[in-house]
Amino acid sequence: MFGSRDDALYARVQELEGRVERLTGLLGTLLDDGDRHARLIELAERAEGALRALEARSGLMGIGEPRFQAALDTVYQAKTFGYVAVYFVGGRTARVRLLIGPHNPPDTSVGCANSGSDINSYIGGIVRPGEYWMAATHRPGLKSGFECLFTPLF
């Protein structure tokens, strides 16, 4: 009974040792191939260079920028595509317009919110690279219950 299990185990160990020996031989063959090793090093260096170039380009385009809390009644210029969210969090009632456009200050209203009524207390809009945008309150400088968040899309 035990002999057959021991024999099977011994056969399995011999099979695995044979595989290790074959793999060791293949590894030695690969290491001895200097041309192949040089080509692999060159490809790795080129791939690393391409990755560094892409990372640099993505930084210039604004990719990977963090979202940020924007101040009300302040003009911003988008470096990348983004989404502007203006929302009521509570407190003093106010009216807010989301202005977006190519001019500084922007003059195109893409939405409005009025926390003093049940009409709407949220505005959102897409901003393109280079466009100016702002969340304009009806009384600049007056503390309101709205907040504004910019989220880069790429």
Are residue 114 and residue 44 in the same domain, yes or no? no
Are residue 51 and residue 75 in the same domain, yes or no? no
Are residue 84 and residue 148 in the same domain, yes or no? yes
Domain count for the chain:
2
Is-contact 151 85, C-beta < 8 A? yes
pTM: 0.58
- Average pLDDT, stretch 110-139? 83
Are residue 129 and residue 72 in the same domain, yes or no? yes
Ramachandran bin of 91, using left for φ above 0, alpha for ψ from -120 to 50, beta for the remaining angles: left
- Give all strands (DSSP E) within the chain, no chain letters: 68-70, 76-77, 82-88, 95-101, 108-114, 122-127, 132-137, 146-152
Statement: residue 2 has pLDDT above 60: no
Are residue 145 and residue 83 in the same domain, yes or no? yes
Domain of residue 79 covers 68-152
Structural tokens at position 106: 């922007």
Are residue 74 and residue 134 in the same domain, yes or no? yes
Structural tokens at position 85: 């969210």
Give me the percent of the chain exceeding a pLDDT of 90: 12
- pLDDT category at 76 given cuts 50, 70, 90 is very high
Single residue among 26, 60, 94 that ends a domain in this structure: 60
Are residue 50 and residue 74 in the same domain, yes or no? no
Single residue among 60, 88, 103 that ends a domain in this structure: 60
Ramachandran bin of 73, using left for φ above 0, alpha for ψ from -120 to 50, beta for the remaining angles: left
- Closest CA relative to residue 82, chosen from 61, 103, 51: 61
- List pLDDT tens digits, range 12-32: 888 888 888 888 887 777 667
- pLDDT category at 64 given cuts 50, 70, 90 is low
Are residue 39 and residue 82 in the same domain, yes or no? no
**DSSP state at residue 141:** T
Statement: residue 95 has pLDDT above 90: no
